[in-house]
Amino acid sequence: MAIATFFSRILGLVREQVMAAYFGASGVTDAFLVAYRIPNLLRDLFAEGAFSSAFVPTFVEANQESKDKSRELMWSLFWLLSMITGVISIGIMIFAPELIRIFAPSFINDPEKFEITVNLTRIMAPFLMFVSLAALFMGVLNSLKVFFIPSLAPAFYNIMSVLSMLGLSGILIKYGYHPIYSLGIGAMLGGLMQALVQVPLILKYGYRPMWPKQFWTDKSKKIVRLIGPGLIGFAATQVNLLVTTILATGTIVGATSWLNYSFRLFQLPVGILSVSIGNSNLVHFSEAWKKKDEAGAKASLQQSYYLSFLTVMPALVILYCLSEEIVHVIFERGRFDRASTLMTAEALRMYAIGLPFYGLYKIWVPTFYALDRQKIPVIASVMSIVFNIAFCLLLTPHYGFKILALGTTLSVTLNACFQAWIIRKDLNLSWGFFFSLRIFKVLGATFLSAIVAETILKVEFFSQPFLNKCFYLGVQISAIAALYLILLWVMGERASVNALLSKVTQRFKRK
């Protein structure tokens, strides 16, 4: 999963690079990001969010009963999702102007930007349906222990986006349209490809299309019941994102883009490591829990907890200590200038602090769904969102857009810690589960690596030729990663280091 997600995220980074070079951090990129956010918000409910967490344990349970039942469950949800998200997509197209007035009221003062945002919203509306079906297919395949292709599927979204920018921008200009529309077309087609590439595997494993005898089965009802409490958290999340979008668009032109570029860099380790670990934990924890193997379920959870810290902490050091260098090398070209680099790096540092807690959040939420305790993530979500909104409303007018990134970090930290406290009580876990000697070794290695990164590894960077910058940055990142592993080895975590290196080596040998 990590290898496949790595390719997807790298292609996502290429997409952002092309976007930055073509459009920079400008009003039109702000317009695209606001328009994209509307279907993407609903994606959290119908795709990677509440739906996936509710669907996977239920599908595993149905598959243990019989393949026919799991096949019927999948296709009943396929048709239900298609109808629901199709209707919502049409609604987004119809009410696009009203939605933009809500999400970006400051755009009303710029008629051209407002019109572009409305048109982009209508172009990307079907993305919601396509990506929801892609998430359904991914949930099925992951439950069948098929991880590589589903994790690679988002790469096709990125490929379509890049090809659209490169191939359609000139054509759109020729016919009198703004080239930013190429991004919207690419996003819509990319969502479609993300679903289609998984269909051959769905057919291979015997889940050929069918029209179910009954849509509203007991299993379907269970999934809806599990999603139900998630609607509260979903609604709260939308309020949170609405507030942060309004605050970002109301600060300075480019703020929405700076936050997006920095969040994309932050999402690179999150997507490669945290999401992969969280999805894998969901499958294995659910399977053990359904079999009444409580010890096995706890062991799986503890392994995921430790693995999350082990893998994301060096990424935290790299993103925080080398933020300006990373943004400069990746984005600073074309319309993306030095000022945009400094602003993006500042937001990236705020996001990076929350990386370990974001990793834990990706583990805790699916775990509670597997335990049929879905109300806990909802309570945690609402609590952290209320905190984030209050924090950002109070401080953004005084400290600017970077507070929005810090608010996100503090809220996810609060969320993860609250869920950890509840899960400790629910599973009767000792404090040693969370604060073991192995975790303190990881934290010690992280702290020492950060000190070295901020002192010994700092070089005269920005005055160098571009190829030298790439070389220096590669050396710095490699040195931090190597130092981190060496420190863990010296501290006695040799088995973990060997296992990690062995898995990576085997993966690349297979390639």
For the stretch 187-200, pLDDT in tens is 999 999 999 999 99
DSSP H stretches of helix in 336-462:
338-352, 355-370, 375-399, 402-426, 431-434, 437-454
Residue 492, C-beta contacts closer than 8 angstroms, at least 6 positions apart:
441
Tokens of 382: 């609402």
Task: Report whether pLDDT(403) > 80.
Answer: yes
Please report which confidence band the pLDDT of residue 507 belongs to, taking 50, 70 and 90 as the band edges.
very low
Tell me the mean pLDDT in the region 247-276: 78
pLDDT for 238 equals 57
Neighbours of 266 (CB within 10 A): 26
Tell me the mean pLDDT in the region 41-55: 68
Task: Report whether pLDDT(185) > 90.
Answer: yes
Tell me the mean pLDDT in the region 39-57: 70
Is the four-CA dihedral 337, 9, 234, 47 of positive or negative sign? positive
Residue 360, C-beta contacts closer than 8 angstroms, at least 6 positions apart:
305, 308, 416, 419, 420
Amino acid at 361: Y
Residue for token pair 């479609």: 192
Residue 221, C-beta contacts closer than 8 angstroms, at least 6 positions apart:
none
**What is the pLDDT of the chain when averaged over all its residues?**
84
CA-wise closest residue to 259 among 400, 153, 79: 400
Domain positions in the chain: 2-435, 436-511
CA-wise closest residue to 244 among 41, 20, 32: 41
Neighbours of 139 (CB within 10 A): 28
Q: What percentage of the chain has pLDDT greater than the value 70?
A: 89
How many whole angstroms separate alpha carbon 107 and alpha carbon 92? 18
Amino acid at 91: G
**320-376, pLDDT tens digit by residue?**
999 999 999 988 887 788 888 999 999 999 999 999 998 888 888 878 877 878 788
